Amino acid sequence: MNKVVLNAHEAIFDIQDGMTLMLGGFGLCGIPENLIAALVHKGVKKLTCISNNAGVDDFGIGLMLQGRQVKKMVSSYVGENAEFERQLLSGELEVELIPQGTLATRCMAAGYGMPAVFTPAGVGTEVAQGKEVRVFNGITYLMEHAFDADFALVKAWKGDAQGNLIFRATARNFNPLMAMAGKTTIAEVEELLPVGQLDPDQIHTPGIYVHRIFQGVDYEKRIEQRTVKPRTE
């Protein structure tokens, strides 16, 4: 099956208001830049976005927040976005903060077809409010439900027409987990190769999980916090 589409705008043609989206990446590394730009251009609203972070004010999901496109953010880290903070404090934005490992595991559970998982993370904190608690071997665990996302938007280093994906370095974080978890998975790649050109032993996400794929353009690859060592003579 040829899953290749022309560009990000064609890839998101059926994403509508009110849907739930997973967006891969860690900080600003490995985020689906082209797909986010297409969502901003399309102007879809009332989205629930599941992502490790919420971008920064003028990049990543931060652009969607500026356009008031996000109704709810489900994240584990949101500390670099002033507009996110403003919308949260004003009550304009719903926010569900999740321990990072729990966020990853709930993605994994969705990909594996598991309805829920049990984790000790968050026991005895606000995270546990309203959730089922069980004790196994004397240890208390929270029951966390698998995510239910309409689309997963991921970004890979290389891919082929069948949707097989290879991620590079830190971009191999939430992207592979989310690629498994969406009802429809859309992948943008830096390099789109013919089928058979990828080393099977290097593939991180098999094409069976990917429904649409395209070669992205104009990647900025920003650094969220640039820290340099002072030069010594």
Domain containing 169 — which CATH number? Answer: 3.40.1080.10
Element (H, E) at 65: helix 61-66
Residue 224 lies inside a defined structural domain of this protein: no
Q: In the prediction, which pLDDT does 225 show?
A: 74
What was the pLDDT predicted at 195? 93
pLDDT one-digit tens code per residue, 189-233: 999 999 999 999 999 999 999 999 999 998 887 777 778 888 876
For residue 13, is pLDDT > 90?
yes
- What are the φ/ψ torsions at residue 96 (nearest 5 degrees)? -120, 110
Name residue 118's beta-bridge partners.
Answer: 143
Q: Is residue 3 part of a domain?
A: no
pLDDT one-digit tens code per residue, 70-123: 999 999 988 778 888 899 999 999 999 999 999 999 999 999 999 999 999 999
Query: What is the tens place of the pLDDT at every residue in 26-72?
Result: 888 899 999 999 999 999 999 999 999 888 888 999 999 999 999 99
16 belongs to a structural domain: yes
Let me know if residue 138 belongs to a domain.
no
Q: Which residues pair with 172 in a beta bridge?
A: none
Output the average pLDDT for the chain.
93
Q: Evaluate whether residue 133 is within a structural domain.
A: no
Total number of domains constituting the chain: 1
Would you say residue 108 lies in a domain?
yes
Residue 61 lies in a domain: yes
Q: What is the DSSP letter of 29?
A: B
Domain residue limits at 26: 8-116+145-215
Q: Does this model's pTM top 0.95?
A: no
- Condensed to tens digits (0 to 9), the pLDDT of residues 61-83 reads 999 999 999 999 999 988 778 88
> Tokens 């719903």 correspond to what residue?
94
Burial degree of 164 (CB within 10 A; 0-12, 13-18, 19+): buried
Which among 22, 26, 52, 56 is positioned nearest to 39, based on CA atoms? 22
Does any domain span residue 136?
Answer: no
